[in-house]
Amino acid sequence: MVSAQKNIPFAQSALGDIFSKNNKTSAEAITWYKAAAVQNFPWACYRLGEIYAKGQGVPKNDAEAVKWYRKAAQDYRPSQEILGNAYKEGLLGLPQDEELARYWLVERANLVL
């Protein structure tokens, strides 16, 4: 807890994981994920995207989910894949767009290399 209070994003994200159990996300988990996400910690950004996409502990909000997935996608392959598929299928309130789908899926492949 001390590390999280000292603004160490890994510790903050870990506390978010602890307070997010069995697909039930508490307000405290969201608070810790946001503290890490504003420091560009990819896992926390991804988890916030997931939380808003599924409406776990918050009202479902596609725009908020996409915002956090995009932020995570700078460094986190699963977010890139989610965005690629969302553009491919027209999910999360995004329009179907083959060019953007290809972009995100190629970005994912580039991170693998």
Architecture per CATH, 2-112: Alpha Horseshoe (1.25)
93: left (phi over 0), alpha (psi -120 to 50) or beta: left
Q: What is the mean pLDDT of residues 69-84?
A: 95
Q: Which amino acid is at 7?
A: N
Q: What per-residue confidence (pLDDT) applies to 107?
A: 78
Q: What's the farthest any 2 CA atoms get from each other in the chain?
A: 46
Q: What per-residue confidence (pLDDT) applies to 24?
A: 76
Spatial distance between the Cα atoms of 29 and 34, rounded to a whole number of angstroms: 9
Torsion of the alpha carbons at 55, 59, 64 and 68, rounded to the nearest 10? -40
Q: What per-residue confidence (pLDDT) applies to 15?
A: 92
Which residue from 33, 29, 39, 112 is spatially nearest to 76, judged by alpha carbons? Answer: 112
Q: What is the pLDDT of residues 30-56, one digit of tens each?
A: 999 999 999 999 999 999 999 999 999
Q: What per-residue confidence (pLDDT) applies to 86?
A: 98
Spatial distance between the Cα atoms of 3 and 19, rounded to a whole number of angstroms: 16
Sequence spans of domains, the chain: 2-112
Q: What per-residue confidence (pLDDT) applies to 111?
A: 65
Q: Which amino acid is at 80?
A: Q
Percent of the chain with pLDDT over 70: 92
* 46 DSSP assignment: H
Q: What is the pLDDT of residues 78-99, one digit of tens each?
A: 999 999 999 999 999 999 999 9
The pTM for the full model equals 0.89
Which residue from 28, 25, 15 is spatially nearest to 49, judged by alpha carbons? Answer: 25
